[in-house]
Amino acid sequence: MSNSHKDHSYRGDIYDLIELNQLLSGPHQILFERKSPYQDVLLIETKNIRLYWNNQLMWNSMDERIYYEALVHPAFVISDKHERVLIIGDECGMALREALKYADVSHVSFVPLPGETLLAAQKTQEISEINEGSFFDKRVQIIKSNIHDFFKKEQQPFDVIIVDLPDPEAKERSKMYTTEFYRKLSNLLTDDGILVSQSASPEDTPVVYWSIEKTIQSASLHTLNYHVNIPWFGDCGFHLAGKKVLKWCGEKINTPNRSLPKNIKTWFTFSQQLMSYKKQAVVNSINCLRLCRFLPNNAQDPEEVRELRHLLSNSHRVLYEGGTSGDRVLVLETKDVRLYLDKQLQFSSLDEKIYHEALVHPALSMVPKRERILIAGGGDGFAIREVLKYQDVKHIDLVDLDPLMIHIARNIPKVASLNKRALHDKRVSVHQKDIQVFQKEQNEPYDVIIVDLPDPGDELLSRLYTVEFFSQLSNLLTEDGILVCQSHSPGYAPFVYWSIGLSLKGTGMHIRSYHTDVPSFGDWGFHLASKKQLQSLNRKVFVPNQTLPEDLSSLFSFPSKSRSVRENSHMNTLSNLKLQEIYKQELRR
């Protein structure tokens, strides 16, 4: 285990830190905070407000400031003046909240798109608290006419224009990303003014991102591009535009905020791979609406629908529900218990079942018997909770090095309730011990071994992902048994993911790889390993669960982009220990 609190190193994603600092700046309750000999432990509870439009998550209070602060402040900093501001979209007033932080703003024309979302924001007290009452600021004029009538009537130009519209998935949305639309905005922009537009994801939809830039440029505007990672949404892209050439010169953002790093210069850099998509960019115009062709209509994204159903099946409060078909709005409040180890997020109660059901059930549903189970790591008790659903399980050995984790899982009421007091079950033996020591002491084999250890962020942890370590665990596996290992993200850290798979394969075991989307972490991957070839992957899980598909085989398919990395993966061995370096490189990337 890591002793990172002693040397002030950090194993996790930098956005964990940003998100944690944001949570600590807002309403929260610290349930448990202490240092163990191995790591800093922080257990925190916060309220999570979410707005869904047609079952699609539009924002949540956990990280909305990261998005809106990134949308608004670079434009304001690069602009020479911002007395008059125009905001299009942003029906909930979060971008408006950020713009009103600037004392020299004297007028804001706020043009929401017509629909149920604005009504929900105006009627929901919790949203008013999040946007800090921005709708009631005397500098704000809410425009009740539609955007096209506004263009016809408005004569006075604006210093800053903020465009916060949904992605151009359908034809009607795509019309708001055309040359003609940006020309109308350009006509309302002062000669030194700045326009900023949210512009889809350069990581997920790079052709759309660069096409929006090319379309803005076709309206005779100069552009400057940047992107930022939003924990619950991934990579989000933006375009700055103006009538003069724009350049980011390392300006500091001194306006109060909760999430912005001191230097955002890295936001303006793009990988060569992302830049290569520029040549495929097209101009989107009223006569030739091309952007919607590149984007699937995600109004019924199955992952988000599955997540929403999961939230609704657990404790929640409906703050607002209304609208007609095609314009349905749902605002939910849930309580979120989150555990941070060394300031790295370990679980969120909102979606930990998605992770733990995917970790446990594929393996346990495929083995012929499951009497004896070994869990390495997993001191929070969630994996045990899932294993205990199987009536034929007779014995579980849980091995976790950190006594604080075991204490939290057993004795902190919120966590013990989440894991259904799993550590108190008479079938469970808890061992506060190094798994490397424990496995050497064992002789009786296990039907399933679950490896739920921290990511290989330092050399000590990297040793737990070596061929040698996996070989020792393989020796503890029955002939028909299955080992499952959490293996980081095939989406965000594919070299780490496939290197863990290759290291498992180096033991001589047969490997099958799978993944699922966990909103708090993104695309998350696992590997199954067995002494015999796993034949059937279409097994159904026959114990209660909330988040798994009916046919598990869907978890075992990967996009070509992820699979293409596999041939360059690294076998991690004690004599060639490099996984921790690969991990750090991919986090930096």
Annotated catalytic residues are: 452
What pLDDT score does 190 carry? Answer: 97
pLDDT, mean of residues 200-210: 94
What pLDDT score does 62 carry? Answer: 87
> Is the pLDDT at 536 greater than 80, yes or no?
no
> Is the pLDDT at 298 greater than 70, yes or no?
no
Distance, CA of 388 to CA of 423 (rounded, Å): 10
Q: Name the pairing type of β-strands 372-377 and 395-400.
A: parallel
Confidence of residue 425 (pLDDT cuts 50, 70, 90): very high
What pLDDT score does 520 carry? Answer: 87
pLDDT, mean of residues 389-418: 97
Residues 6 or more apart whose Cβ sits within 8 Å of residue 571:
467, 499, 502, 503, 506
What pLDDT score does 2 carry? Answer: 32
Looking up tokens 């130009």 gives 157
Instruction: Report the alpha-carbon angle 116-120-121, nearest 5.
Output: 120
**Three-state SS sequence of 10-67:** CCCCHHHHHHHHHHHHCCCEEEEEEECCCCEEEEEEEEEEEEEECCEEEEECCCHHHH
What pLDDT score does 6 carry? Answer: 35
Distance, CA of 205 to CA of 277 (rounded, Å): 10
Structure tokens at 169: 């998935």
Distance, CA of 283 to CA of 352 (rounded, Å): 42
pTM of the model: 0.87
What domains does the chain contain, in order, with CATH numbers? 63-296 (3.40.50.150), 351-588 (3.40.50.150)
Q: Name the pairing type of β-strands 329-341 and 317-322.
A: antiparallel
What pLDDT score does 172 carry? Answer: 86
Main-chain dihedrals φ then ψ at residue 167, nearest 5 degrees: -60, 150
Calculate the dihedral angle through the C-alpha atoms of 89, 90, 96, 99, rounding to the nearest 10 degrees. -70
CB atoms near residue 191 (< 10 Å):
8
> Is the pLDDT at 306 greater than 60, yes or no?
yes
> Is the pLDDT at 11 greater than 60, yes or no?
no
Interval 489-530: pLDDT, tens: 998 899 999 999 999 999 999 999 999 999 888 899 999 999
Spatial CA neighbour of 147 closest among 115, 124, 116: 115
What pLDDT score does 31 carry? Answer: 96
Confidence of residue 221 (pLDDT cuts 50, 70, 90): very high
Distance, CA of 229 to CA of 352 (rounded, Å): 21
Q: Which helix (H) or strand (E) holds 396?
A: strand 395-400
Confidence of residue 5 (pLDDT cuts 50, 70, 90): very low
> Is the pLDDT at 270 greater than 70, yes or no?
yes
Structure tokens at 486: 């959490």
